[in-house]
Amino acid sequence: MGEFDSIRPYADAEIPAVLARLLADDAFLDILTQFRFPRLAGPFGWALKPLIAHRLRSQFRHIDSVRALQESIEPYIDRTVEHATDGVTYSGVETLKAGSPYLFLANHRDIVMDPAFVNYAVYHAGLQTPRIAIGDNLLQKPFVSDLMRLNKSFIVHRSITGRREKLAAYQLLSAYISHSIAQDGESIWIAQAEGRAKDGDDRTDSAILKMFHMSRKDEPFADVIASLKLTPVSISYEYDPCDQAKARELYTRATTGSYTKQPGEDDKSIGLGITGYKGRVHVHFGDPITSGFEDAKQLAALTDAQILTGYRLFPVHYLAYAMWSERDPQLEVPAAESLFGADELAAAKEQWQQRLSRCPSEQQPYLILQYAMPVRNQYRVKAGLPL
């Protein structure tokens, strides 16, 4: 057994067997049937599932590598992007060099679509897609683990509770990330902090940065980070399909002190995040951070500055900020009317009012917070003020 077998993505030679296992998995076929035929899945699922499995076996019978698999599903990703967005734009991707692996450290709003949009950008730029870090809390069903590991995902063991076991898990993760970049020449995507930033406050957790250094403690911290080509990535959604659910969770935490997820809640978030309307989406690739820091705290500040300034603010962000009761008096934030055209602003106001009207009044402050916080953070960075 290889050192990283418990967490690594599947290798090319494993693809046919994993695909065969997936297409024999009743739970996986159930999900496909419900997605493809939502009205017929209940009464006729018993008949539809074998047909879907047969069609997919035929479609994937020649797939024998990760690259071939990604090429076969790329049209479906394109279709999802077209149906669920008003367009995706990118900046900074042109500075990435072919054959040079990067450690992409990104803000985190959506479980699946954040890395998917990064993949989409580098794939269409003719570059190799990164390996994707995913928490084991999202892999409760075997077919989900198989699906993610087929698509270059590797596992972050977050559910471990013992101190010694957790330390060993992060040591292994650190070694795998270094090995992937230095030995395999494969880029990595990982979120800047554990879990989605449900309040819109994108901050880098210095513990993540320290983890990158754990397996190479004998080397200076700055040298290790420089060798990994840590590259901040900003992902901006005009509208978050999960914003209502996030507002409800934030409200519940604020009023009761805790929040307990319901069974299947992560699955619903994943589905809504993929298919729900996002408006426009922008992904910005920053510059690799190779100097200007000595420790994780300083590196976190540099990373945050790039992620927050690279975040594209849409009209809805300014509309929310103007409503926010916690606006920062030190900041000179222009009104949306001075930044956007009349037609664009009118469309944003209509969409924003629809979202507010669907949100219970007591939860609305937490909906506003999600869209206002990126404005506050970006303008504080631009003004040279601490976050």
Q: Which residue's entry shows tokens 């077919």?
A: 143
Compute the distance between CA of residue 189 and CA of residue 114 in angstroms, rounded to an integer. 10
pLDDT tens for 157-199 read: 888 888 899 999 999 999 999 999 999 999 999 999 998 999 9
Q: Of the ranges 118-127, 164-173, 268-277, 369-378, which is most confident?
A: 369-378
Is the separation of the CB atoms in 93 and 125 below 8 Å? yes
Pair 155, 290 in one domain: yes
Task: Judge whether 298 lies within some domain.
Answer: yes
For the chain, the domain total comes to: 2
Compute the distance between CA of residue 224 and CA of residue 230 in angstroms, rounded to an integer. 10
Q: Which residues pair with 282 in a beta bridge?
A: 89, 236
Spacing of C-alpha 381 from chain mean position? 23
Is the separation of the CB atoms in 123 and 117 below 8 Å? no
pLDDT, average across residues 132-141:
84
Domain of residue 336, residue span: 313-386
Pair 257, 359 in one domain: no
Query: What pLDDT shows up at residue 247?
Result: 98
Query: What pLDDT shows up at residue 195?
Result: 87
Query: What pLDDT shows up at residue 33?
Result: 81
Pair 156, 277 in one domain: yes
The model's pTM: 0.92
pLDDT tens for 45-74 read: 788 889 988 888 988 888 999 889 888 888
pLDDT tens for 333-379 read: 999 999 999 999 999 999 999 999 999 999 999 999 999 999 999 99
Pair 207, 268 in one domain: yes
Q: What is the DSSP letter of 61?
A: T
Q: Which residue's entry shows tokens 């927050």?
A: 308
Pair 83, 231 in one domain: yes
As a whole number of Å, the CA-based R_g of the chain is 22
Q: Which of 87-96, 159-168, 281-290, 328-337 has the lowest mean pLDDT?
A: 159-168
Give the DSSP letter string of 305-333: HHHHHHSPPPHHHHHHHHH-TT--TT--P
Task: Judge whether 322 lies within some domain.
Answer: yes
pLDDT tens for 292-313 read: 999 999 999 999 999 999 999 9
Task: Judge whether 157 lies within some domain.
Answer: yes
Residue 198: CATH number of its domain? 3.40.1130
Q: Which residue's entry shows tokens 């190799």?
A: 128
Pair 336, 239 in one domain: no
pLDDT, average across residues 86-100:
95
pLDDT tier at 1, thresholds 50, 70, 90: low
Compute the distance between CA of residue 190 and CA of residue 187 in angstroms, rounded to an integer. 10
pLDDT tier at 141, thresholds 50, 70, 90: confident
Pair 179, 231 in one domain: yes
pLDDT, average across residues 188-216:
96
